[in-house]
Amino acid sequence: MPASHDVVDEVLNAASADRYARLVGSVVDDLAARIRTVEQPFTGASRADLQAAVDAVDLDGPGQGNETALAEVTDLYVRNAVWFHHPSYAAHLNCPVVLPAVAAEAALAAVNTSVDTYDQSTVATLMERRLVGWTAGRIGFDDGDGVFTSGGTQSNLQALFCAREAIVARAAETGRRRTEVLPRLKVLTGASSHFSVNTAARLLGLDDDAVVTVDVDALGRVRPAALRRAIDQVHADGHLVMAVVATAGTTDRGCVDPLQAIADVCHGEDGAIWLHVDAAYGCGLLVSSTRRHLLDGIERARSVTVDYHKSFFQPVSASALIVREASDLAPVAWYADYLNPVANAEPNQVDKSLQTTRRFDALKLWTTLRSVGADGLGELFDRVCDLAADVHRDLADDTDFDLVAPTDLSTVLFRYQPAGMTDADADRLVPPVRRLLFDSGRAMVTKTVVEGRPCFKLTLLNPASTVADVHVVLDLVRSVAATLHQTRTLDSLEMAR
């Protein structure tokens, strides 16, 4: 930093507004130039090189000024980032982002609103509430409520927290104490549900075996009859069903649990069992004009997780927990004299959140809806689902590949197994092929295990990708796998790992 420079000039205010505009403008210009020319999803830099580059930065040294700092960031971070917009990125549930949301992100970072109490956020609180109401309406909750969260993990945690408090309160009516109830609580969910359900159970102080896995069908979806039996077993053991978690779009297969039949089972119970629908992935169906029916029954849930940063093409983070009845959020509230005293007529989102200071992520979705419309967003999600359907069709005709499982959404699970290759060889190829593609940076695919066997997985969340783009990735998998198999380098590769 030049000696004449006062560090206080770096605070964003009236005096620095012009420099702010130039600085952020130059960052955006650089990024635009990079995005125009990115040739593969990742540079392929080795972890050792990246670690050395990170370690080499002197964080205790004198300030270098914005220009140097940002040039360093470009070189270190931007250059080596993983680009989700690249058509050869097809690994995890990451989406490319839409322009209005990125523009809104720049606004909310600079204004730096915290959506906790009304007096810190004013209209932002009202806008977030409108969007919560909008999402609840799409779900089919007439008087729903909710709050934006950092992601599906937090949404699931909060949903299960509210479910736990509801059952503890019910037990208290018959004189049973929290400490008596907690060890008896069970959460029932399918084998393909997200691991955050297990993490939440642990965080909530439930027993180690509190999460009961319910049998699934050939597509990985909860079998309603098995759920029925599992509930009966919990009761026969003298335990209590705290919640049933259904998944609308499993992380692996993109399959939607049969929500109506599951809701029938939950509602059939005395006092009704808390049904939570984890729609972190499948929430895009809420705006789909062709597939909304897959969510039929979601309106009978008591709470729903939606990840706008997955199927609404929003920048991380943007997620929400939506509940059917506003009163279900009450256990989260804690009143502090300096913040939100009990006798407070103002709408304070902090009363509904596990967080206190909280980003105004809702602005991104707001801007997106106003820019492209709900139907426009739905069209984007439909495109990736249509793309996956086309790829599934092509794979069914391809003699080198085996399609492992169908999907309701946009995942593709497959194996490279040409005629004559043993299952064992096909299975062994999966990890090194994924690894070699990652190391090259040319294509990103991932792997998972279905019915005990490893397989490749593509998560197609790029509405701008074409079938030809996906074939580029598939052909890379094919050629790397064929080479490994033919040259029999697999054994040495495995030994080296």
Q: Given the rule CB under 6 A, which residues bind ligand PLP?
A: 93, 151-153, 156, 194, 196, 247, 251, 278, 280-281, 307, 319
State the Cα–Cα distance between residues 339 and 119, nearest whole angstrom.
Answer: 9
Length of the chain: 497
- For 446, the enclosing helix (H) or strand (E) is strand 446-450
Of residues 189 and 348, the one with the C-beta less far from ligand PLP: 189
Of residues 146 and 151, the one with the C-beta less far from ligand PLP: 151
Of residues 251 and 353, the one with the C-beta less far from ligand PLP: 251
Query: Least separation, in Å, of the C-beta of 156 and ligand PLP?
Result: 6
Of residues 261 and 280, the one with the C-beta less far from ligand PLP: 280
Query: Least separation, in Å, of the C-beta of 212 and ligand PLP?
Result: 18
Q: Identify the residue whose tokens are 């909310």.
A: 108
Query: Least separation, in Å, of the C-beta of 197 and ligand PLP?
Result: 8
H-only helix segments in 64-212? 66-73, 99-111, 118-121, 123-139, 152-173, 178-181, 196-203
Of residues 193 and 417, the one with the C-beta less far from ligand PLP: 193
Query: Least separation, in Å, of the C-beta of 379 and ligand PLP?
Result: 22
State the Cα–Cα distance between residues 457 and 409, nearest whole angstrom.
Answer: 13
Question: Which DSSP state fits 11?
Answer: S
Question: Which DSSP state fits 216?
Answer: B
Q: How far is CA 228 from CA 187, 214, 235, 236, in A?
A: 13, 9, 11, 12
Spatial contact of 384 and 410, defined as CB atoms under 8 Å apart: yes
Query: Least separation, in Å, of the C-beta of 93 and ligand PLP?
Result: 5
Query: Least separation, in Å, of the C-beta of 161 and ligand PLP?
Result: 15
Of residues 194 and 415, the one with the C-beta less far from ligand PLP: 194
State the Cα–Cα distance between residues 389 and 407, nearest whole angstrom.
Answer: 8
Distance of CA 2 to the CA centre of its chain: 43
Would you report the helix, strand and coil content of the chain in percent, each value rounded to 5?
A: 50, 15, 35
Of residues 96 and 441, the one with the C-beta less far from ligand PLP: 96
Of residues 319 and 367, the one with the C-beta less far from ligand PLP: 319
Query: Least separation, in Å, of the C-beta of 168 and ligand PLP?
Result: 24
- Report the DSSP pairing between strands 411-416 and 240-247: unpaired
Of residues 163 and 426, the one with the C-beta less far from ligand PLP: 163
- For 319, the enclosing helix (H) or strand (E) is strand 319-323
In the complex, which residue's CB is closest to ligand PLP? 152
Of residues 361 and 400, the one with the C-beta less far from ligand PLP: 361
Query: Least separation, in Å, of the C-beta of 413 and ligand PLP?
Result: 15
The C-alpha angle 108, 112, 114, rounded to 5 degrees, equals: 105
Query: 479: left (phi > 0), else alpha (psi -120 to 50), else beta?
Result: alpha
Query: Least separation, in Å, of the C-beta of 282 and ligand PLP?
Result: 8
Spatial contact of 437 and 82, defined as CB atoms under 8 Å apart: no
Query: Least separation, in Å, of the C-beta of 327 and ligand PLP?
Result: 25
Query: Least separation, in Å, of the C-beta of 280 and ligand PLP?
Result: 3
- Name which of 129, 152, 126, 135 is nearest 322 in CA terms: 135
- The amino acid sitting at 83 is W
- Name which of 247, 284, 253, 252 is nearest 381 in CA terms: 284
Helix axes 66-73, 17-37, angle to 10 degrees: 20
Q: Residue 389: CB partners within 8 Å, gap ≥ 6?
A: none
Of residues 177 and 202, the one with the C-beta less far from ligand PLP: 202
Q: Residue 363: CB partners within 8 Å, gap ≥ 6?
A: 104, 107, 108, 124, 127
Q: Residue 272: CB partners within 8 Å, gap ≥ 6?
A: 266, 302
Of residues 93 and 214, the one with the C-beta less far from ligand PLP: 93
Query: Least separation, in Å, of the C-beta of 251 and ligand PLP?
Result: 4
The C-alpha angle 446, 447, 449, rounded to 5 degrees, equals: 155
